[in-house]
Amino acid sequence: MPTGIDPITLSVVQGALQATQRAMTTTMEKTGRSSVYAIARDYSNALFDWDARMIIQGEDIPTHLGSMVLATKAVARFFAGEINPGDIYLHNDPTYDGSHLPDMCMYKPLFFEDELVFWVVSKGHMVDVGGPVPGSYNPDAKEIFAEGLRVPPIRLVDRGEMRHDVLNMILTNFRSRKFQSGDMNAQLGAITLGEQRLTALLERYGKAVIKDCVEQLLDAAEAHMRARIRTLPDGVYHSSVVAEDTGHGRGHQTLEAEIKVVEDELEIRLSSPPQLDFFTNSYRSNTLSGVYAGLLMWAQVQPPFNEGLYRPVKVDFGPKGTILNAEEPAPHVNCTGGPQETICDLVRTGLNRIDPTHAVAGWNHTWAFNITGKRPDNGEPYLDLLISSLIGGAGAVNNLADGWHAIGAQAGLGGAQIGDTELVELLAPIIVTRLELAMDSAMPGEWRGGCGLVTEIEPIDHEMTVIAWGEGAHHPPPSTGEARNHPQMFDTKVARGWHLRNGEILHEVDHNQVLTIGSGERYRSQTSGGGAAGDPFSRPPEEVQDDVLNRKVSLKGAELEYGVKLHPETLEIDVVGTTALRRAKDR
C-alpha cells in the first residue's frame, strides 16, 4: 500500500513518467520508415509496472492501448519464471490478446536492484505481415491462417543479444522488408530510450518511492472514474448498433450492450451473433479497446490516464465464438478498423443516453485502401497504405462544438492526420489527383459533424492493385439528440470507392474487394463525415452560410438539412425563405 508521498514528489514522478512515454513516441515519429509510421503515426507506447498494470497510457492509438492491458499480462504470464534483464519479447497473435496481426508489439522488462520494476511496451502497425494479400487485409480470408504471420509470445532479444535468426524469419515473411525493418528498429529505439529514462528515475528517487508513487497514481485514476460514474442514476440501460455487411453476404449484424450502473461501478455485458468466416470478427483484446475508448469519450476524465481508470468497470464479452469474443480460427484483421468504431459507438451511445449533457456523436468508420504493384522504372515491388483514405470526419459534441474535419477514426486511429501528399507520391509511383473535403459528408445538426475526405490517385505508367477495405458504406456514424439527415442526402453521408477511366465510373465500390487499376485509370475513395448533435434547424443560418462558402455544405444541403435558403448567385441569406423553411418543419 502507498505510504504517503508528498504531492510535489508525486507530481514530479508523474511528469517524468509521462515525459518518458512521450519521448518514446517522438522517437518512433522521427525514426519510423513506412508511411504508416512516418505519416499516420499508427503506433503507441505505454509503461507498465511490476504486475504488468498499465501506469501510463499515452495519447496514442486507443485500439492499441486497451489491448495492451491484456496483452502485457499475457506475455508476462507466458514467460513467468524465465524473464531476464536485457530480454525483449515480441508478439501479435490475438489468441494471446494481441489486437490484430499487423500490430506488432515489443515488451522489455526493466530490472532495478535485481527486481522487475517496469515493463516498457511499444506497439506499431506493420504495413504488411504476410499472407496472400499485400497489406494483409484479405477480404477473402475464411480463417486467421489466411491473414498473415502469427507470432505468439517469443523472445526476440535474449539477455541483451538479438536473436538474428528469429528476426530474419519474421522479416522474411513480410513483403516490404526494408520498411518493416526500419519500423521495428524504431520500436527498439523507443523501448531502449524508455528503459534509460526509467532507470534514471529509479536511481534518483529510489525503488520504494517510485513504487509508492505508482500505487497513488493508479488510485487517483480510479477515484476520478468512480466520481464520474456516481453522476449517473443507478439502473440497467441498453444500447444496440448495426455492424454492416461489408462483403461477407451474411447481412448486417446487430450488436447489443447492457450497461448496469451500481453506485460508482459499471457492468457492461456485450451480446453479438456467432463469429463470421470474414475478417471483421473481434477477439476479446480488441473488443476491450473499443469498450474503453467509448467509456473515455463519454467520461472525459482528467489525468492520470492509467489502468486505475478501469478498476470500477467490469466487461463481459459474451460467449466465446461470437463476433465480439472471437476464437480461433476466426479471421479478424479488419477488426481494428470499422468494427472497432462500432464497438466504441455501442458503449458510447449507451452512456450518452444516460447522460447526454456533452454527448459525443460518432466518428467516421475506417474506410481505406492499400495499393501494390511494381515500379515502372526498376521493376521493384512497392506496397503502401494510403493514409488519407483512412481520414474522415469527427463527431460533434452536444452543446459544445462541431466535429473536426479530415481526421482519423477515433478508436482505431486516435485522430491520425494526413501528412504530406508529396511524401505519399515519393513512397509509391502514383499521382494524387484529388485530396479535398467531401461536400455534404458531415451529418447535419445544431453542432454538425466534421467532413470526410476525397482521395483520388492514378498509377504512373503501370498496373496497380487496390485492396479496398473497411466499413461505412451503408450506415453513417451515429448522431445524438435531434440530429438527423435528410433521406435525399443519404448517399453523401456514406463511404464509397470508384474505379474511373477518363472521368467515367467503371465500377462503384461499396464493400471490401480487390481491384486492378490500369495505367491512365484512377481510383477514388470517399470517407464518411462525423455524426452531429442537436436539431439542424436550430443551427444559426450564418454558420450554415459559412459552411456553404467553404464548400462543406451545398446549397441543396443547406435547404434540405438545415432549412437555410441562400441566394444562388450571391450566397446571401434569404431571410424570408429561411423562415418559411424552418416554420414548415415545425408543422
Q: Phi/psi class of residue 114: alpha, beta or left (left: φ > 0; alpha: ψ in -120 to 50)?
A: left
Tell me how far apart the alpha carbons of residues 142 and 473 are, in angstroms, rounded to a whole number. Answer: 22
Tell me how far apart the alpha carbons of residues 70 and 118 are, in angstroms, rounded to a whole number. Answer: 16
Specify the residue for cell string 477511366: 501
Name which of 352, 343, 405, 350 is nearest 533 in CA terms. 352
The per-residue pLDDT for 415 is 65
Tell me how far apart the alpha carbons of residues 293 and 481 are, in angstroms, rounded to a whole number. Answer: 21
**Per-residue cell: 392:** 474522415
**Three-state SS across 87-123?**
CEEEECCHHHCCCCCCEEEEEEEEEECCEEEEEEEEE
Per-residue pLDDT tens, the chain, 587 aa: give them: 445 789 999 999 999 999 999 999 999 999 998 888 888 888 999 999 999 999 998 888 888 878 999 999 999 999 999 999 999 999 999 999 999 999 999 999 999 999 999 999 999 999 999 999 999 999 999 999 999 999 999 999 999 999 999 999 999 999 989 889 999 999 999 999 999 999 999 999 999 999 999 999 999 999 999 999 999 999 999 999 999 888 888 899 999 999 999 999 999 999 999 999 999 999 999 999 999 999 998 998 888 999 999 999 999 999 999 999 999 999 999 998 878 889 999 999 999 989 988 889 999 998 999 999 999 999 999 999 888 888 999 999 999 999 999 998 877 777 676 778 888 898 899 999 999 999 999 999 999 999 999 999 999 999 999 999 999 999 999 998 888 889 999 999 999 999 999 999 999 999 999 999 999 999 999 999 999 999 999 999 999 999 999 999 999 999 999 999 999 999 999 999 999 999 987 65
Show Cβ contacts of residue 331 under 8 Å, excluding neighbours closer than 6 positions. Answer: 138, 141, 142, 143, 144, 146, 147, 277, 278, 279, 281
Tell me how far apart the alpha carbons of residues 485 and 531 are, in angstroms, rounded to a whole number. Answer: 10
Tell me how far apart the alpha carbons of residues 318 and 509 are, in angstroms, rounded to a whole number. Answer: 33
The per-residue pLDDT for 422 is 87
The per-residue pLDDT for 411 is 78
Q: Are 27 and 193 in contact (CB under 8 A)?
A: yes
From the centroid of its chain, how far is CA 316? 22
- Taking the domains of the chain in order of start, what are their residue ranges? 7-224, 359-539, 542-586
Is residue 467 helix, strand or coil?
strand
**Per-residue cell: 572:** 446571401
Is residue 383 helix, strand or coil?
strand
3-state helix, strand, coil in the chain (%, to 5): 35, 25, 40
**Per-residue cell: 498:** 470508384
Bridge-based pairing of strands 88-91 and 154-158 is: antiparallel
Enumerate long-range contacts of 86-90, CB under 8 Å, 24 or more apart. Answer: 86/157, 86/158, 86/159, 86/160, 86/161, 87/155, 87/157, 87/158, 87/159, 88/155, 88/156, 88/157, 88/188, 88/191, 89/153, 89/154, 89/155, 89/156, 90/151, 90/153, 90/154, 90/156, 90/170
Q: Are 540 and 487 in contact (CB under 8 A)?
A: no
